Amino acid sequence: MKNAYARAGVDVEAGETAVEMMKKHVAKASRPEVIGGLGGFAGLFDASKLAGYSHPVLATSTDGVGTKVAIAQAMGVYDTIGWDLIGMLVDDLVVVGAEPLFVTDYISCGKLIPEKISTIVSGIAQATHAAGAALIGGETAEHPGLMGEDDFDIAGATTGVVEKDAMLGPDRVKVGDKLVAMASSGLHSNGYSLVRAVFDGVSLDKEFDELGGTLGDELLTPTRVYALDVLALIEGVEVHAMSHVTGGGLASNLERVLPKGVGARVERGTWALPAIFELTKSYGKLSREDVEATLNVGVGMVAAVAAKQADQAVELLEGRGIESWICGEIVEGERVELVGDYKIS
């Protein structure tokens, strides 16, 4: 007979099974500094690594995936959503020059199905490893009565470290710096409330020629994790600031890393708007300004680099498999302006 907690809808045994199933995934997302394993009350990380720094500064970030989880839930595909979580976390750290050290995650669900949770964690672990960090702990919570049986949500936090003298930010940005854009893999994990409203009533199985596949597959394309590529860029050329293009679009996120009295000019004509953005615009009868104020329009990360090294920056990133280009420059002013028209693809 089930105990009282199980009769109330919380299956402790299922939780224990999920932990055992996810251990094999988490083991692949480790670093030498990790102490102990999964299942303890706290994740442990040997901080003696920081002794090698002259003036270490810890950086931290917390985030979730937002309503993109509704797409994963509707499609029954759970192995990619973890990449979205890690992309949102670690790439907020690297914009200040910080190396991601470790990640913790939190998964809530209406009914704990071990295989489903393990699959979600597999994506989180793969992406954490791809970012050079360790997945050192987390929590899975069953919320019967608060969430539907098929419902789930994920969130997480990450910590990194940077030498104080090496921190990137507005104080380093200079008029004349070139802006190097790094292509997004698609919508990433922002603006899905708008996108879902635009395609409300459209089957996720619907094929679109311009997408080269189904709407669902495109909407579930995982966020690109730039962490190691950005750290390589910082090591290879003179980078002054970085902007992770998330909620609010390209202009507003770029403004966050500019000093007072300095603006930026971004040339739309340096890239073609990817198909999913054009489709969202036309289907939703949205203005270009609406799209640009919400979505990343094909740019996931922007670096402000010394003008003389902009071409070298593009070459370095392209060599690492990141489509990149010079999209504009830092100018005198107070605003980020997107000018011209996008290329015709």
180 and 148 in a single domain? The answer is no
45 and 160 in a single domain? The answer is yes
Q: What is the pLDDT of residues 274-293, one digit of tens each?
A: 999 999 999 999 999 999 99
Give the integer Cα–Cα distance in Å for 140 and 159.
Answer: 20
Give the integer Cα–Cα distance in Å for 277 and 262.
Answer: 29
Q: How many helices (H) and strands (E) does the chain have?
A: 12, 14
pTM above 0.75, yes or no: yes
Q: Please determine, for residue 313, whether its predicted confidence score (pLDDT) is greater than 50.
A: yes
Boundary-marking domain end, from 134, 166, 198: 166
Give the integer Cα–Cα distance in Å for 265 and 12.
Answer: 55
Q: Is residue 345 part of a domain?
A: no
Give the integer Cα–Cα distance in Å for 325 and 302.
Answer: 10
Give the integer Cα–Cα distance in Å for 329 and 99.
Answer: 26
Boundary-marking domain end, from 124, 139, 166: 166
Give the integer Cα–Cα distance in Å for 206 and 157.
Answer: 35
Helix ranges (H only) for 57-198 are 68-75, 81-93, 114-130, 192-198
106 and 233 in a single domain? The answer is no
Q: Is residue 326 part of a domain?
A: yes
Between 306 and 28, name the one with better pLDDT.
Answer: 306
Across the chain, mean pLDDT equals 92
How confident is residue 87, by pLDDT bands cut at 50, 70 and 90?
very high
Q: Is residue 194 part of a domain?
A: yes
151 and 218 in a single domain? The answer is no
Helix ranges (H only) for the chain are 4-7, 12-26, 68-75, 81-93, 114-130, 192-198, 215-219, 227-236, 249-255, 275-283, 288-292, 310-319
297 and 324 in a single domain? The answer is yes
Give the integer Cα–Cα distance in Å for 127 and 121.
Answer: 10
The mean pLDDT value for 72-99 works out to: 97
* Residue 222 backbone dihedrals phi, psi, to 5 degrees: -70, 155
Q: Is residue 258 part of a domain?
A: yes
Give the integer Cα–Cα distance in Å for 252 and 288.
Answer: 15
Q: Is residue 344 part of a domain?
A: no
Q: What is the pLDDT of residues 189-225, one digit of tens each?
A: 999 999 999 999 999 999 999 999 999 999 999 999 9
Tokens of 245: 């293009």
64 and 199 in a single domain? The answer is no
The mean pLDDT value for 74-94 works out to: 97
Q: Is residue 286 part of a domain?
A: yes
Q: Is residue 104 part of a domain?
A: yes
How confident is residue 39, by pLDDT bands cut at 50, 70 and 90?
low
pLDDT at position 7: 44
CATH no. for residue 106? 3.30.1330.10
196 and 62 in a single domain? The answer is no
Boundary-marking domain end, from 166, 201, 231: 166
Domain range for 21 is 4-166
Number of domain units in the chain = 2
66 and 175 in a single domain? The answer is no
Q: Is residue 250 part of a domain?
A: yes
- Facing residues of 105 across strands? 138, 156
pLDDT at position 239: 98
17 and 158 in a single domain? The answer is yes
Q: Work out the angle at residue 234's Cα, subtended by the Cα atoms of residues 228 and 238, and round it to the nearest 5 degrees.
A: 160
156 and 121 in a single domain? The answer is yes
300 and 322 in a single domain? The answer is yes
Most confident of 11-25, 32-46, 114-128: 114-128
CATH no. for residue 263? 3.90.650.10
H/E stretch holding 163: strand 152-163
19 and 35 in a single domain? The answer is yes
**Number of neighbouring beta carbons within 10 Å of residue 340:** 11
Give the integer Cα–Cα distance in Å for 272 and 285.
Answer: 19
